[in-house]
Amino acid sequence: MHHHLKDKQRKPLDEDSLRQLALYYVGRYATSSKKLSEYLKRKINQSGWIGTAPPDIYAIISYCINLGYINDPLFAEMKYNAFKRRGYGKIRVKSALKAAGIDEKIIDSLTENNDSAMETALHYAKKRHLGPFYEKEDRDDIKIKRRHFAAMARAGHSADVIARIFKINIEDLES
C-alpha cells in the first residue's frame, strides 16, 4: 500500500523534463505560445524545480516554434475559422483569441475584414431560430425580441448588425 503514495509524489522538474513536457503538450494540443507558457508554469508550480538556473520557459517556447509545433498566426486562423463556422461574431472571436494570448496585430489582421459580419450573423440567427427565423406565434413579443437580441450579442455580434438582421423579412430571403 505504501508505494502508491510515492508514485503520487511528483518529481521536481529540470530543464530536460520541462522540455519533454512541452513537446508532449504541443504534440497533443494545438496551442499558442501563451497557453504553452501557462502550462509549463503550472507544471513547475505543481512539481517544483531542481535546475540550478531558473527555468527558461522562453527558450523552450522558441524551441517549439523553431520546430514548427507552435505557430500563433496559424493557430489564430484555425480558431478564427472555427468560431466563424459556429456563427460567432467579431467581438466574441476577438476576445477568445485575446484570451489565447494571440498578438493584437494578428487578431486585427484576421478580424478587420468585416464583409462577413452580416453573413455570419445571418447563419447564427438561422441556426438558432432567432429574430426573423423564430417561427412561433409570440414572435412579436418584446420579451422574446430582447432575449433573441441578447443571445446574438453574447455570440459577439454588434448591435447594428443584429438590428439589420432583425429587420429582414424572411419572405424576401427565400425568393
Task: Provide the residue ranges of all domains of the chain, joining segments of one domain with +.
Answer: 15-67, 72-84+91-110, 116-172
* Cβ neighbours of 61 (radius 10 Å): 20
pLDDT, tens digit, 9 for 90 and up, residues 80-107: 999 988 999 999 999 999 999 999 999 9
Mean pLDDT by 10 residues, the chain (175 residues): 54 93 95 95 94 91 96 94 91 94 93 79 93 88 93 95 87 62
Helical spans, DSSP H, in the chain: 2-8, 15-28, 33-47, 57-66, 72-85, 90-99, 104-111, 116-127, 142-154, 159-167, 170-174
Contact 55, 11 (CB under 8 A): no
According to DSSP, residue 96 is labeled H
C-alpha cell at 142: 418584446
Convert the pLDDT of each residue in 142-165 to its tens digit. Answer: 999 999 999 999 999 999 999 999
What's the predicted TM-score (pTM) here? Answer: 0.77
Instruction: Please identify which residue in the block is written with the cell numbers 503538450.
Output: 25
